[in-house]
Structure 1
Amino acid sequence: MHPAPLAATTRGYPATGYAVENIHYGSVAVVDAGGRLLYASGDPDFMTFTRSALKPFQALPFVLDDGPARFGLTRDELALLCASHSGEDKHVAGVRAILDKIGVDESHLACGCAVPLFYDFTGQPVPPDARFTPVHHNCSGKHSGFLAWCRLHGAPLDNYVAPEHPLQRAVRATLADCVQMDEAQLPTGLDGCSAPNFAMPLARLAHLYARLAQGANDPRLGAAMGDLFDAMTARPDLVSGTERTDLHWMGAGGGDWVAKIGADAVQAIGIRSAGIGIAIKVADGNVRALHPAVYSVLDQLGLLNAERRSLLERYRNPAIKNARGSVAGDIHAVFTLQSA
């Protein structure tokens, strides 16, 4: 099987109409909590680097070892361990609180330094005198959780992102067990924050989120999955940030949906009430095609009532505008889910 057309962009004039300019291919998998494929488009087994959609499961070894309780981490701080945050004041303060509780400082963070995502998503200018440190990086919450695992187990803090470090071996082993694959079947790559990332068939990622959405009802990892689901859905603003898609998806879900985006156009969503997980990958990594595809999946699955449609309308077929703000076309989904 191969990726299929997921979204098209158009270009033209209102008076004469719009023609298709680009087609973005990709794949969709919708899976139930037992791992059964329900619906698909393209290749549901497309081998996909999970990127930041993996974050709740990178925190899982720490949660399984009762780390949050051992260090007195709050539910909000657990949400930050799963976050691709925007570097807003509340995010930075939360990460610093975690580092303080585990007895390290931000010089130990190996994620690098980046301008906060807040400016990209709100359009606000970066202050000319702004100075940023690793806590502003969108992955600093995840890395604080990595360091917490090291402190919990007396593991070296140096080079904790190396694939051979005990922490990363624990993450890989836990993930392989969760998706019921041999570790050697999970391709490993270097993520943007310098931590190892893993690829898996798209349907396996969807299954992870179907299980995460069931929280404490997961038959194998109940309490840990429950803690992660509760933290993420209680504070989607900490998992993401102002004007971010995961904030909007989870907000529309009203505590029933858990969502996490990954770089290069990966999106995973778990729907508790429906007992399903959804995973989407745009093959060329173009994120502008991702959001209309997510909206379309939710719509085709009958998950959008009038209120949710209103909250998420911006993603249905967003306009493409030029530098003057004139509408040049749009982006819209072009696929129909097929029953497995």
Structure 2
Amino acid sequence: MKYFSSLLLSKRCGTAGLFCFLFLLFWLLFQASPAGAITLSVTPSSIQLGDSVQIAISLYFDPVSPAADGSAEVDYGDGSGWHRVGLGTSPDQVNYYINLTHRFDRAGTYVISVRYYPGTSIGVPPGIPSAPLNPSRTVTVNAKLAFTRIQVYFKNKESKLFVKRNQRDIEAAVDLRYEGSGLFKGYWQADDRILAQVIKNLPYANNRTFTLKLPAVPPLPTHSTGSHRLRFVITEPPMNITFPEVVYVVTGEDLVNRHPIRLAGPANEAVLNPASFSFSWQEKPGVASYRLDFFGAEGEEVVFSAYSREPAYRVPASIVNSRFEADAMYRWRVIGLDENNLPVAESEISSFSFKPGS
């Protein structure tokens, strides 16, 4: 191409002599590109925070236009701008090879670019990058997996549950919030027994929360009466913490019939307003504290629970307005607990309706 261009100009100049020759020489020097081609390779394209990427740059120069005092420049895409890295090594003064290692200090996606800085090469204004190709490559830097929140709970977000002996319909879950990415391993544990293993590859996220439910098989052990612990333990990534746990209490007796608590008021199917949300019952010997459970009209979903050392409890107006719906039917019961918080007595279930204007 350069030969064709010079031939064409020579024909146009004809026999103009020295002036045409000097013009042609100046034109050729100005048009010469100091770099013929640049290639860029970045490996690997995805890394964990703290690891490094390998950057390989090769530059090819036209033998007619040597490298002179130019240099390659790299932009790592992290906002630090262009970095001059020289020309590396060359076996023939035509092909140059540069090998770099770079480590990012933050997670994210970066575009690494390379260009040629010609320096003061003849025919190219100083400081103006010039090359037929300025390649770029993308690299993703993933933060290492770390969990920032672990919350285990039974259905309705309860941290303590009373169940019957050999009861099987027990629901529990754990909310896990994490950042970064990587392999996740853990297991469900009831007392000292491992119930189920969990293994997942978690994609990169920043404060993402996901929920794992306790598997129905094998069921949570309920054959032994008393208090039991349930927790979710994370083994990968390693965590030097005490994992949170919830407690479920297995009762072995029919407490309602054998150790009943007599409800005093309100009467069954009473109509209550916010000012009359007071509940009372007869004191039971051997009971250290009482727990009140409020349910909807159907099912075992707990709307609200409260503890009292006295045989009476008044629900605060703020709870009434936020937890109970107008013109709806509700049920309630009282469970008596001993000094170890084990159930030792229980009332029948009574019902009431809530009408704010009554």
Please tell me the TM-score bracket, short chain as reference.
under 0.3
Q: Write 1 or 2 for the structure with the bigger share of strand.
A: 2
Task: Work out which of the two has the higher radius of gyration on C-alpha atoms and give 1 or 2.
Answer: 2
TM-score normalised by length of structure 1:
0.19
**Between structures 1 and 2, the one with greater helix share:** 1
Q: TM-score, normalised by structure 2?
A: 0.19
